Amino acid sequence: MALLCSALAACGPTPAPQIEVTGPTMGTYYAVKVVQPPAGLDAAALRAGVEQVLAAVIAEISTYESESELSRLNRNSSTDWVPVSANLYLVIAAGQRISALSGGAFDVTVGPLVNLWGFGPEERLDAIPAPEQVRAALERVGYGKLELRADPPALRKQRGDIYIDLSALGEGYGADRLAAYLDGVGATHYMAAIAGTMRVRGTNAKGQPWGIAVEQPTPGQQRVQRILPITDQAVSTSGDYRNFFEVDGQRFSHHIDPKTGAPVAQRLASTTVIHPAGADSAMMADGFATALLVLGEQRGPALAESQRIAAYFIIREEAGFREATSTAFERLRAP
């Protein structure tokens, strides 16, 4: 879900030079800002570098791109070991770790259900599927039906029709790859975002922490609920207020409970996770934000506590919203 980014304070010393590029990617948008860019990095070079990275990510893990490595793997009905690239292995393995920690609330094999409910690359129907269709899709779902081998990287499906959907990790993986590119060209102060998932290093043009605004989870509006000061961290928000359809006043959003086969229906509207910077930190923030949302108002905060995840929850109430935070989140905010 989209986060807005803004400077924390309106006044202060003269801003440092900054270059900024934005554009479409992954059915959403990217935004990259670099403060005090290293010599030789201008906006045109930055755009070219960023778009090259994003094209590589899409070629690896997109289910929207029929010739990506993941789409070819999804079409491969072999139940033998299939070699995969180190990068695809990395993302699927991260998903499997989050699945285990979340007791299966997060599950990259949920793809057939995502597609059935109209939230995947296939035609969007905005309709409730028949129970027998849900039952048939559920038989193909279960992270335990996937086996992974690290060296050399390979994957084995228990059923040939397992279909993997990495959309809950992909924006984060992309942001991590952008951060690696920016580190590689010598950038030391930057913000690299794909929609509501981002990696942040150093400070903004005013020498202050980057201000990451978490949206109020109200469909069709862009109001700020809270601004989080972030530096050297990854942030990701998942919510039910952008990608959904309604039937008879009931909302069906794109987060699917792999146990029931249906979109989660609950009061927890948005989850934001902050993760310390590291090679896969945006991917982990992205995945955990989805996992906590699927787990819901009670079990989501419980997992955040047990795993010391810095999480910020926005819960829909009769009148307005209620916020909840994990202990790790409050520690980050402590002076």
**Residues in the site for ligand FAD, rule: CB under 6 A?**
1, 26-28, 57-58, 61-62, 64, 106-108, 110, 114, 119, 165-168, 170-171, 195-196, 238, 243, 254-256, 258, 286, 290, 294
Q: Tokens representing 270?
A: 């948005």
Residue 74 φ/ψ, nearest 5 degrees? -65, -30
Identity of the residue, 108 or 155, whose beta carbon is nearer to ligand FAD in the bound complex? 108
Q: Please state the closest distance from residue 132 (CB atom) to ligand FAD, in A.
A: 21
Identity of the residue, 280 or 286, whose beta carbon is nearer to ligand FAD in the bound complex? 286
What is the Cβ-side half-sphere exposure of residue 158, based on CA atoms within 13 angstroms? 10
Residue 266 to residues 174, 219, 285, 314, Cα–Cα distance (Å): 29, 15, 21, 12
Q: What residues pair up with 245 in beta bridges, in sequence order?
A: 252
Q: Please state the closest distance from residue 14 (CB atom) to ligand FAD, in A.
A: 35
Identity of the residue, 215 or 326, whose beta carbon is nearer to ligand FAD in the bound complex? 215
Q: Please state the closest distance from residue 28 (CB atom) to ligand FAD, in A.
A: 5
Identity of the residue, 119 or 245, whose beta carbon is nearer to ligand FAD in the bound complex? 119
Q: Please state the closest distance from residue 80 (CB atom) to ligand FAD, in A.
A: 25
Crossing angle of the two packed helices 167-184 and 43-61, in degrees rounded to 10: 140
Q: Which long-range contacts (CB under 8 A, 24 or more apart) does 79-82 make?
A: 79/156, 79/157, 79/158, 79/159, 79/160, 80/156, 81/149, 81/154, 81/155, 81/156, 82/154, 82/155, 82/156, 82/157
Q: Please state the closest distance from residue 250 (CB atom) to ligand FAD, in A.
A: 18
Identity of the residue, 182 or 292, whose beta carbon is nearer to ligand FAD in the bound complex? 292
CA distance 289 to 19: 29
Q: Please state the closest distance from residue 260 (CB atom) to ligand FAD, in A.
A: 10
Q: Please state the closest distance from residue 108 (CB atom) to ligand FAD, in A.
A: 6
Identity of the residue, 35 or 289, whose beta carbon is nearer to ligand FAD in the bound complex? 289
Residue 84 to residues 16, 88, 150, 242, 321, Cα–Cα distance (Å): 43, 6, 10, 33, 44
DSSP secondary structure of 137-191: HHHT--GGGEEEETTTTEEEESSTT-----HHHHHHHHHHHHHHHHHHTT--EEE
Identity of the residue, 189 or 255, whose beta carbon is nearer to ligand FAD in the bound complex? 255
